[in-house]
Chains A and B, each alone.
Chain A
Amino acid sequence: MGKILEVENVHSYYGHIHALKGISLYVEEGEIVSLIGSNGAGKSTTLRTISGLLHPRHGTIKLDGRDITHLEPHLVVAAGVGHVPEGRGIFPKLTVRENLEMGAFTINDPAKNAERMEQVFALFPRLKERIDQYGGTLSGGEQQMLAIGRGLMQHPRILMLDEPSMGLAPVLVELIFDIIQKLNKEGVTILLVEQNAQMALSIAHRGYVLQTGNIVLTDTADKLRQNEMVQKTYLGIE
């Protein structure tokens, strides 16, 4: 199994704010990798840097060995990186169907897209009931389903999810995490950002711990869960 994504010594800035101070991480094919950390640690910034919304000042990002560091976001997507952003990013005045169509924007094969839309509906039957409804009128949980479904439409090499559990009731969090695991079993590689470290580490193979722009710890998910610092800071275990 090869490395799909390799991030090496990446530094990102917002104006003068040094948000990522030399991040290195990798994701292998078929893995679920979790990135955990507290508010403002730089988790979203890491994903935004990978998908080209933010260009790093130093460092390199490679997808399947190809340098994508300086590509514009639409080209990073075309190269195979799916990014379900923080806050879901549903287009409020596009219907559910149109939102999903936008997810498949780079693919010009109507038959394939129709098939994928059916796959998404199989995963989230609720979306099919709401197909002609505006995205903005969906509930938070439905919007999260739509965001994930939309991310799947382009069949990315790697799907990056930014806090898919945010603002959801516990039952829905369970459902979303079950689906993430199911997708992974079907072969989708996943980079998962979560504040809910308990859940994130319970389904991941490996994890990284981010603190104020630095990766301070990395290990298998099981070992991280045993780690004293992780237990204290992120799992609320004294």
Chain B
Amino acid sequence: MKQLTSNPFYKFVLFPIGQILAFILGAGITLSVLVILLAYIFRGSVTNLDLVERTLVILPKVLIDGITIGFVYATIALGYTMVYGVLEFINFSHSEIFMVGGVVGVELLRYLEAQGALASMNQYVVIALAILLGMFIAGSLAVTVERVAYKPLRNAPRLVPLISAIGMSFFLQDAVRLILGLTTGEFNVILPKFGTFDEFQTFNVPGVAAPVQLQNKTILLIGVTIVMLVGLNYLVNGTKIGKAIRAVAQDRPTASLMGINVNFIISITFLIGGALGGAAGVLFALKVTRLDPFVGFFPGLKAFTAAVLGGIGNLTGALLGGLVLGLLESFGASYLGVFTQGAFGAEYKDIFAFAILIAILIFRPSGLLGQTVGQKA
């Protein structure tokens, strides 16, 4: 066992992937069993189609939707939680970093389309370029925001940088609106159609009657986020810089006595968090196909909820919180209507996220996994 756990392939590849799978299976199975039980209990009160049957028919789609948006939340939540781990500060402008990443990615696609290059290029190269550019711009922007708006306030009372972050949020929204207005005259950015990402793959899962349909872009989104999560785990636990990030999170003055340049590590933390947010933005854009300067607000707030749910400052917690929140939201949105016969519907899904935030803050403020700042992911 000892030999296995110190094997790098296990530590940096198998373990994080296993962890992700365990979280998905755990949350997915729990929620599935719960709705099936509920359906079984309430089946008599529904007249036409059997409630259990209706519950089962939509279950695969509900799970897939929940996991997909869960990965988006998890990726954004990591940015909140990393910054919190190092500075004990909630970077409220992170939702705008996410938005900028998405807008930059879509603008690149629109540029390629305008040049007539989009159709002829390999779709995977195109999306890789969009993600990398979104990561680069969002990461650099996050570093700049920290330098300009947070660093001068590092010794100020805790509320002050928080207000600066909220101000930065509005500033970024309006700056993007201004730039879009000046360059395109239109605040909405719409993803150009390209490649085969909108097509579906059909899988026959044994034991499930109807074949399960997965959209190509969903597969892409999940695949790319898993690669990023594995990469982040390696970065934080396997590299010197990652250990320095954890050391700074645990004890800033002592870290500086080790010869660690604390300001540089803080910048790196914002760079990584921002880049993850930017990538999530591009993937989110691919999914929703339409962005505007205010699109970061809800995903950002939900990712923050996910970070708190998992235990803010805890990287594993952000992953777990994101997946659990995504699944809860998807189950809530779909089954509320089914069980109440349409009295309540998907429009209530946002309420789930915020009801969870409030419940967590009241009953378990340290989150599911506790507030283990700087701990191994």
Question: Which residues of chain B come closer than 8 Å to A123, judged between CB atoms?
Answer: none
Is A64 close to B, CB under 8 A? no
Interface size on B, residues (CB 8 A): 23
Chain B residues with CB under 8 A of A101: 240, 243
**Interface pair B256/A106, CB less than 8 Å apart:** no
The winner among A85, A98, A102 for most chain B CB atoms within 10 A is A102
Q: Does B372 contact A (CB under 8 A)?
A: yes
Contact string, B363-377, partner A, CB cutoff 8 A, digits 1/0? 000000000111110
Residue A91, interface by CB 8 Å: yes
Task: Kindly name the residue among A92, A93, A103, A106 whose own CB sees the greatest number of chain B CB atoms within 10 A.
Answer: A93
- Proximity bits, A38-78, B CB within 8 Å = 1, else 0: 00000000000001110000000000000000001110011
Among A72, A78, A94, A103: residue with most chain B CB under 10 A = A94
Q: How far is the CB of B203 from chain A (nearest CB, A)?
A: 41
Residues on B with C-beta less than 8 A from A94 are 243, 246-247, 250
Contacts of B246 in A (CB 8 A): 91, 93-94
- B197 → chain A closest CB, angstroms: 41
Q: Is the CB of B254 within 8 A of A91?
A: yes
Let me know if A102 and B247 touch, CB within 8 A. Answer: yes
Q: Does A125 contact B (CB under 8 A)?
A: no
Contact residue among A74, A93, A98, A154 (Cβ-Cβ distance under 8 Å from B256): A74
A77 and B258 contact, CB distance less than 8 A = yes
Given contacts A93-B372, A94-B247, A101-B240, are A72 and B261 in contact (CB under 8 A)?
yes
A116 contacts B by Cβ under 8 Å: no
User: Across the interface, do A74 and B251 meet the contact criterion of CB distance under 8 Å?
Assistant: no
How many residue pairs link A and B with beta carbons under 8 A? The number is 69
B31 within 8 A of A: no
Q: How far is the CA of A223 from the CA of B289 in the complex (A)?
A: 82
Query: Roughly how many angstroms separate A78 CA and B259 CA in the complex, as a whole number?
Result: 6
Would you call B232 an interface residue if the criterion is a C-beta within 8 Å of the partner chain's C-beta atoms?
no
Contact A102 B255 (CB under 8 A): yes
Answer yes or no: B72 CB below 8 A from chain A CBs.
no
B353 within 8 A of A: no
Which chain B residue shows the least CB distance to A151?
Answer: B257
- What's the least CB distance linking A93 to chain B, in Å? 5
A105 touches B250 (CB 8 A): no
A167 within 8 A of B: no
Chain A contacts of B257 at CB under 8 A? 51, 53, 73, 77, 83, 85, 89
| A150 CA / B260 CA spacing, docked (Å) | 14
- The residues of A that contact B254 with a CB separation of less than 8 Å are 85, 89, 91
B243 close to A102 (CB less than 8 A): yes
| Those of A72-125 within 8 Å (CB) of chain B | 72-74, 77-78, 83, 85, 89, 91-94, 98, 101-103, 105-106
Q: Are B253 and A102 in contact (CB under 8 A)?
A: no
Q: How far is the CB of B143 from chain A (nearest CB, A)?
A: 19
A132 to B257, CA, bound (A): 22
Q: Which of A53, A92, A103 contacts B258 (CB 8 A)?
A: A103
A91-B247, A94-B250 given; A105·B258 CB < 8 A: yes
Q: By CB atoms of chain A within 10 A, which of B240, B255, B256, B372 has the most?
A: B256
Partner of A105, one of B6, B253, B260: B260
Complex Cα spacing A186 to B240, Å: 29
Given A74-B260, A105-B259, verify A85-B253 contact (CB < 8 Å): yes
The answer to whether B244 touches A91, judged by C-beta atoms less than 8 angstroms apart, is no
Contact with A along B301-324 (1 / 0, CB 8 A): 000000000000000000000000
Q: Which 9 A-B pairs have the closest CB atoms?
A: A89-B254, A106-B259, A73-B256, A77-B259, A102-B258, A105-B259, A74-B261, A91-B250, A105-B258
Q: With A52-B256, A89-B251, A94-B243 given, can you name 8 additional A-B contacts, CB distance below 8 Å?
A: A53-B256, A53-B257, A77-B257, A89-B253, A93-B372, A93-B376, A98-B243, A154-B259
30 contacts between A and B (CB under 8 A): A52-B256, A53-B256, A72-B256, A73-B256, A73-B257, A74-B256, A77-B257, A77-B258, A77-B259, A85-B253, A89-B254, A91-B246, A91-B254, A93-B372, A93-B373, A93-B376, A94-B250, A101-B243, A102-B243, A102-B244, A102-B255, A102-B258, A103-B258, A105-B240, A105-B258, A105-B259, A105-B260, A106-B258, A150-B258, A154-B259
Q: Which residues of A are at the interface with B, using a C-beta cutoff of 8 A? A: 51-53, 72-74, 77-78, 83, 85, 89, 91-94, 98, 101-103, 105-106, 132, 150, 154
